Amino acid sequence: MPARKPFVGGNWKMNLHTDDAVALAKSLADRFDATDKVDVVICPAFPYLAMVGKTLKDAGSGIKLGAQDAYFQADGAFTGEVSMAMLKDIGVDVVLTGHSERRHVINETDVLINAKTLAALEAGLEVILCIGEKIEQREAGQTHQINMAQLEYGLAGVTAEQMDRVTIAYEPVWAIGTGKTATPADAQEAHDRIRRCLKFGFEWGEAIGDKVRIQYGGSVKPGNAKELFGQADIDGGLIGGASLKADDFVAILEAAC
Ligand code: PGA
């Protein structure tokens, strides 16, 4: 199995305004410099992307800048939307697609998520494609089916070459922001199935599926990060609530080192 460098993302969601966003980015840049051991991205809300990016750059940090969403069209009459090229223009490196809050609160479909994933990759951005089952799907024994379907739709048309810039985030919906975490064994089982789908379910083949990083997301905290990241197919995490506090996020990053 190839050594996969861990990748940890901080998804700030619709939180933090100017002062807090800049202060948090600065604090992370000052306190965490092991980006040779773990790739790190922070994803502020749209209005703060440029200033958080500048804060990271001024501090000489290797932490990447991520956007929580973007639209798939290149430009034109799409009021309220932001294109991949606009994000690239202001220094964004990574885009999240398919986050469960966009699937289930904003009602994004698999077709739209796929279009966004392809557009981000075509624009030269990295993508974190989020997948995961709802509680009723888990209780009905459909976890793997849901994950496979979201993977297959989400990655349709992605080339072998583009897969170098794709990370999967497995985020069981019932674990997001609820304080409930999948046990490391349950998470590993889901990740193993996702890995097998990436290796054998697509035309690009086994070696590429082996290299893809699969993050776990859903109530990751300093207290459970080490054990989760210690699982064979868990290559880091996508962190919501605990990424809003420098102490907690740095502790989680250290757990991934
Ligand atoms: P959480 O969110 O860590 O607050 O559960 C994770 C996510 O939504 O990416």
> How does pLDDT run across 151-176, given as a tens digit for each residue?
999 999 999 999 999 999 999 999 98
This model's pTM is above 0.85: yes
pLDDT at 62: 97
Is residue 191 among the annotated active site residues? no
Q: Taking phi first (over 0 means left), then psi (-120 to 50 degrees means alpha), and beta for anything else, what does residue 170 get?
A: beta
pLDDT at 2: 60
CA 46 to chain centre: 16
Low-confidence ranges of the chain (pLDDT < 70): 1-2
How much distance in Å is there from the Cα of 100 to the middle of ligand 1?
10
How much distance in Å is there from the Cα of 121 to the middle of ligand 1?
24
pLDDT at 7: 98
Q: How far apart are CA 16 and CA 3, in angstroms?
A: 35
Q: How far apart are CA 103 and CA 112, in angstroms?
A: 10
pLDDT at 127: 98
Domain 7-256 has CATH 3.40.1280.10: no
Domain range annotation of the chain: 7-256
Q: Taking phi first (over 0 means left), then psi (-120 to 50 degrees means alpha), and beta for anything else, what does residue 107 get?
A: left
Is residue 17 among the annotated active site residues? no
3-class SS at 22? helix
Closest CA to 69 of 56, 78, 82, 80: 82
- Check 126, 133, 171, 191 and give the catalytic one: 171
Going by the DSSP 8-state scheme, the letter that residue 57 receives in this structure is: H
Using an 8 Å Cβ cutoff, are 96 and 130 in contact?
yes
Q: Whose CA is nearest to atom 7 of ligand 1?
A: 240
Q: How far apart are CA 111 and CA 202, in angstroms?
A: 18
Q: How far apart are CA 233 and CA 246, in angstroms?
A: 26
Q: How far apart are CA 63 and CA 250, in angstroms?
A: 12
- Dihedral (CA of 136, 45, 49, 84) sign: positive
Q: How far apart are CA 47 and CA 118, in angstroms?
A: 24
- Check 99, 101, 133, 191 and give the catalytic one: 99
